[in-house]
Structure 1
Amino acid sequence: MGIVSSTKRTIMPSTRDLVKELIAKDSVVIFSKTYCPYCKMAKEVFDSLQKSYTAIELDDREDAQEIQDVLGEITGARSVPRVFLNGECLGGGTDVKKLLQSGELIKKF
């Protein structure tokens, strides 16, 4: 018998709980990286609407990979930004900008 190795990480329930808790803490939550232009785009959308948001800057966190794994499970994508409004994932920066331009974003508040 050989040793079986898997490259897939096991996500700790505590990380899953943390992500759910972070999403529930504010009406707008953006999982972001400080250097990402799409993350900046998403933040600018909410700044232009003068809507406050909580930005979770993953590049400042040691558990960033685990958080992105959980986001992948619950939204279907690990990429940032992942933007949540009232617990609903709106997608990324381009998605949020399109919602703003179509007038649909403001209806969600």
Structure 2
Amino acid sequence: MASSRRAFPIFSALFSTSQAFSINPASGQLKGKAMAAKDLVNKTIAENRVVIFSKSHCPYCRRAKDLFATKFPDEQVKVLELDLRDDGPDVQGHLAQLTNQRSVPNIFINQKHIGGNDDLQALHQKDGVKALL
């Protein structure tokens, strides 16, 4: 019984010491990646009139891109294909925080969040896209 009393304080001291002084490089790396994604998203939205955060295989993303290509062919559209980027999950995570929308496409016109493809199509039906451009 006496030996278990001694072992417990040693274990407890070791546990608290390792917690207090542990350095987890992965956590710093995650913060750095998240910050870089946030900066990328904010800069991309600020510097482009139309931004579509997309995935290359997504049919809804394709419809959104097609709308701009056919109805507004002179408009430059910045498209970031998240599934083709190493930082795609981090970008999508920041977009979820920024817009409360985790899905793609995630569309911005003149720094205004439009939403997804259904939102874009509905806005276009009311000539709202043209008005924003």
Task: Name the counterpart of 1:17.
Answer: 39
TM-score if structure 1 supplies the norm length?
A: 0.86
Task: Name the counterpart of 1:61.
Answer: 85
Higher RCO (Cα < 8 Å, 6 or more apart): 1
SS at match of 1:12: helix
CA distance in 2 between counterparts of 1:12 and 1:44 reads: 30
Task: Name the counterpart of 1:87.
Answer: 111
Higher helix proportion: 2
Aligned residues: 104
SS at match of 1:29: strand
Residue type matched to 1:75 in 2? Answer: T
Q: CA deviation at 1:12?
A: 2.4
Query: Once superposed, which parts of structure 1, at least 4 consecutive aligned residues long, lie more than 3 Å away?
Result: none
Task: Name the counterpart of 1:73.
Answer: 97
Give the gaps of 5 or more residues in structure 1. Answer: 4-8
Task: Name the counterpart of 1:6.
Answer: none
CA distance in 2 between counterparts of 1:57 and 1:86 reads: 19
TM-score if structure 2 supplies the norm length?
A: 0.71
Structure with larger Rg: 2
Counting aligned pairs with the same residue, the percent is 36
Q: CA deviation at 1:96?
A: 0.4
Give the gaps of 5 or more residues in structure 2. Answer: 1-11, 20-29
